[in-house]
Structure 1
Amino acid sequence: MAVVCVFCSASPRLSAYYRQVATDVGAALASAGHTVLTGGGSRGAMGAVTAAARAAGGATVGILPTGLLDREIPDPDTELHLVPSMERRKELMGDRSDAFVVLPGGIGTLDELFGEWANRAVDAHDKPIVIVDPDGLFTPLRQQIDLLAERGLVRESALTAVKWATSATDVVRLIPPSGTPRRGYEATIVVQES
Structure 2
Amino acid sequence: MNITNGKSVDVEKSLVCVFCASKDSIEPPFNNAASELGREIAKSGYGLVYGGGDQGLMGRVARAVHENGGPVLGITPRALTKIEGGESYGRTILVDSMHERKGMMNDNAMSFIALPGGFGTMEELLEITTWSLLSIHSKPVVVLNTNGYYNALKDFIEKAVAAGFVESTNRDILVFCDTPQEAVAAIAKYQPPETRYKLNWSAPVQI
TM-score bracket for this pair, using the shorter chain length? 0.7 to 0.9
Aligned match of 2:82: 70
Q: Contact 1:133 / 1:165 at 8 angstroms: preserved in 2?
A: yes
Q: Which consecutive residues of structure 2, in runs of 5 or more, have no partner in the other structure?
A: 1-12, 190-207
- Residues 80-114 of structure 1, C-alpha deviation per residue, up to 9 Å, x if partnerless? 00010111111111111100000000010011101
Larger gyration radius, structure 1 or structure 2: 2
Q: How far is 1:13 from its partner? A: 5.0
Q: 1:122 aligns with which of 98, 123, 134?
A: 134
> Which secondary structure state, in structure 2, belongs to the residue aligned with residue 125 of structure 1?
coil
1:118-163 Cα distance to aligned partner (Å, 9 max, x none): 0101111110000000211111111011101110011223201111
**1:11 counterpart = 2:23:** yes
- Mapped to 2, the partners of 1:77 and 1:49 lie a distance apart of 10
Of residues 94, 114, 117, the one that matches 2:106 is 94
Per-residue displacement from partner, 1:21-54 (whole Å, max 9, x unpaired)?
0000000000111011110020110000011111
Q: Distance in 1 between matches of 2:100 and 2:31?
A: 26
1:175 corresponds in structure 2 to 187
Structure 1 residue 74: Cα displacement = 2.6
Q: CA RMSD in A?
A: 1.5
CA distance in 1, matches of 2:49, 2:142: 14
CA distance in structure 1 between the aligned counterparts of 2:179 and 2:136, rounded to whole angstroms = 28
| 4+ aligned runs moved over 6 Å, structure 1 | none
Q: Relative contact order: is structure 1 or structure 2 higher (C-alpha 8 Å, sep ≥ 6)?
A: 1
SS in 2 for 1:152: coil
